[in-house]
Structure formats: C-alpha cells, structure tokens
Amino acid sequence: MEALRAKFQQRNATAAVIGLGYVGLPLALEIASAGFKVVGIDLDQSKIDKLNEGTSYIGDVSEKTITGAIKMGRFTVTSDFSALRDVDTVSICVPTPLSKSRDPDISFILAATEKIRKYLHAEQLIVLESTTYPGTTDELILPELKSSGLRIGKDFCLAFSPERIDPGNVAFNTRNTPKIVGGITETCTEIAYLFYSQFIERVISVSSTKCAEMVKLLENTFRSVNIGMVNELALMCDVLGVDVYEVIDAAATKPFGFIPFYPGPGLGGHCIPIDPHYLAWKLKALNFQARFIGLAAEINGMMPAVVTTLVGDGLNRFSKSIRGSKVLILGVAYKKNVSDCRESPALDVMRMLSDKGAVVSYHDPFVSTLRMNDNTLKSVELTSANIESQDCIIILTDHSIYDFRRIIAASKLVVDTRNATKDLQEFKDRIIKLGAGNNVASAPSPENQPECIGQSRNPLKRNT
C-alpha cells in the first residue's frame, strides 16, 4: 500500500464519493478543497444536473463552493459507476432507511458494494460512512470485495468511518468535526487515518470497524434516550403543574453531571429516529432486548398524539372541536433553520389533525411544498389576515425567521411545542405550551390508544 500512502501524502490521489446527499456532497467538496480530485457518483440525475449547473440543493453547501471546485477541475459528477475504475479511494455515503417493518434497509449499501466490487483494484481504499448496524462492514462488504481475489490489508483496504453531519450547525462542519475511523486490519485503519487526516482537523482511530459502527449508534441512541426521558418529564410536569423548561434551565446551572435536553413534538431527521433501531434490530438477533431504546421510541413516538390532544383541549376552551377548525402549522422541517422533512413529527401531527377533520395548512420558509397523503401542499403566506383567520396556530419548528410576538399577537390560540413563547407572558391566556404545567393533558394511560401515524402506537389520557 506504499503507492497509496504516497498519493495521500502528496494529495494527488483521486477520490470517489457514492451518494451526493447531505453527507456525501459536503464530504466530496471538503476532499476537493484539500487538493484531491473527486468524482461524485449519484443515480439521481436531477442532482447531477443541478451540480453541473452550479446549483446547490444542500443548505450547508454554497453554490460558490460547488462552482469553484468544478472550475478548478477538482470536482466532477456522474451517474456512471465505471468512473470507479480510475479512483484511489471510494467513500460510500448512501441512505440507510428503515423498512415498513422498522427493520434496517441496507439495499443501497449492498448495491454500491456490488458496483465497487466490479471495479475494485489494487492500491485502493474503500470506506463506508453510511450508518448501519455493528458488523455490516465485516459481514457483508468484506466478503463481497474479497471475492475479487484481492487481499484485504495487502492489496486493498476497507474501513468504516461514521458520518457526523449536523445540518444547519454553523459551528461544526465536515472539516472541524472529529472523525472516527476503524479498519478491518491495522493497515486498513492506518491508511484510512492517513486519508482523512489530509482534510479533517482531528481523526481518531479505533480498534475495529464494529467499534466505529457502534460509536455512531451510541451517539444517536444517547440523544434518543435523553430526548425520550425529557419528553416524559414534560408530561410529568403538566400533571404536577410545573414548567419543565424552568426545571431544565435551573438544573443546567449545575456545572457537572448534567446535560440539558429539551422536549418537543417528536423526533425527526434521518439519524435519531432511525439509528437506534439498527442497534436494537442487531441485538434482537442475538437474543438481547434493548429496553431503553424501545422505551425511548415509544415515548418519542407518542408525542405527535400529545400535541394533537393539546390542540383539542385548547379548542375546547372556545367550545370548538377539532373537526372543522382551521389549524396552521408553523414549521414542518424536523429542526429549525433547515429544509429537511425526513421523519418530521410535523407530518404525523398534520395527518392526525386531518384525520380528525381539521382544515390543516402550514407555513415553512424553508419548505415550499410538502407531500402528504398523496397530495402536494404549498406553504401559505404568513400574513396577519391569515393568522387571524385560524382557530389554532401550532409551533412545531421554531425557525429563527419567525417573529413570534407578531404571530402570537394576531392569534386566537397557540400550541407551543418548542418554548418559542417563553418571553411572551403577556399573551399567556392564549398559549398552551407543552410541559408548561398549565395544560389539561396528562401522562399516558393504557386506554383509548390513538395511532401515531408512521411511528409507534401509544396512549394518551386526559384529566377530567
């Protein structure tokens, strides 16, 4: 592997990135910025066309960066996998969703591996970055690549390096987020470390691919479990008449032993709602029940139903039912200041309210159109007249662009799931805030279980 080492050190290697989504595109451009030539491969021709036009479809990637890399000859894009024949390293950044039965769908990884196997050659590094269950690299990718007759650690190297992209994060990006690498052999780890250290500020080696795979799952399971805990705490605080946000902020003054997490309408995005299921699925096959993961998924999955109940309770104050009421959703992206709607709890809230007969519309400055129930919805204008015409406003994503004071002042009823109205106490009579201790919804009970569409079914009981 001496020739490959030299190419990395001299930065004259050619890299390929398979999958040009929110992980692959920033990675490809970061590699190109370090002086490497990069070939981006994606089966979505619309992405290829947009990139060749210098158009960015990723919020964290500027068009200037794309056009600059292309003009310098460092970045080309294609849907033709034969480009792998002439590259020195391949990074797999394809989606890893869950199937309808909530089992891991690694078909994209397997398809990419088959293409790589076809063009695999000596002095080449292959790295999987897609999140998956522990053992995927060893058990699935390695046998396929070894079937080429090339020797692992001698002729080619294989490693896993989990992506750690946080969309919308202005402080941490691909370059300054520490990178974990674990190879099949010590040589594989060493070669992967050398490659990433050319364009990542800090690279950390671990002992195996399975360890590196587990690192990613721990990170997101940690968040899922803690969000589940604080969501349940919000329901407790509603029962006890305590403001959960005041409790969390006070606890956060402790300089050690506490990390603040905040409640919300449910989990969203590609990672946190999905990744823990990869770990639970793998452990189930080994006759081990991941109880914390299951409980967190249950609690987080029921939050859209909790929000729907709060809407119903709020409308009851005006002698209105959900059926026939006009409800405006503020924010459908899974987190603030991004356009990503994958697994967004807003979709479940909208479906549940629609099923109950509400007239549902939405506004999101980052999401102009939205597919729901085979229909395409358009973001409505956030005018004072439109706000005043609504029976209820639900704050599901607290985008920074929103002027909440203006919105609340024009509203009849607001259900706040993000603590966006914390400084608007003068309007408290028209605000119902999740976990604020002034609501009539209580913790779950086993009776009358509503269905959280797309997530687990969970109970919700109202106080009487």
What's the chain look like in SS3?
A: CHHHHHHHHHCCCEEEEECCCCCHHHHHHHHHHCCCEEEEECCCHHHHHHHHCCCCCCCCCCHHHHHHHHHCCCEEEECCHHHHHHCCEEEECCCCCECCCCCECCHHHHHHHHHHHHHCCCCEEEEECCCCCCCHHHHHHHHHHHCCCCCECCCEEEEECCCCCCCCCCCCCCCCCCEEEEECCHHHHHHHHHHHCCCCCCEEECCCHHHHHHHHHHHHHHHHHHHHHHHHHHHHHHHHCCCHHHHHHHHCCCCCCCCCCCCCCCCCCCCCCCHHHHHHHHHHHCCCCCHHHHHHHHHHHHHHHHHHHHHHHHHHCCCCCCCCCEEEEECCCCCCCCCCCCCCHHHHHHHHHHHCCCEEEEECCCCCEEEECCEEEECCCCCHHHHHHCCEEEECCCCCCCCHHHHHHCCCCEEECCCCCCCCHHHHHHEEECCCCCCCECCCCCCCCCCCCCCCCCCCCECC
Q: Could you give the CA distance from residue 330 to residue 400 in angstroms, rounded to a whole number?
A: 12
Q: What residue type is 190 in one-letter code?
A: E
Q: Measured between alpha carbons, how far is residue 60 from residues 23, 46, 66 in Å? A: 10, 19, 12
Q: What residue type is 30 in one-letter code?
A: E
Single out the catalytic residue among 157, 188, 271, 392. 271
User: What tokens were used for 439?
Assistant: 């609501």
Q: Could you give the CA distance from residue 74 to residue 31 in angstroms, rounded to a whole number?
A: 9
Instruction: Please indicate whether residue 271 is annotated as part of the active site.
Output: yes
Helix pair angle (209-240, 275-285), 10° resolution: 110
Q: Could you give the CA distance from residue 66 to residue 25 in angstroms, rounded to a whole number?
A: 9
Beta-bridge partner residues of 126: 90, 158
* Catalytic site positions: 271
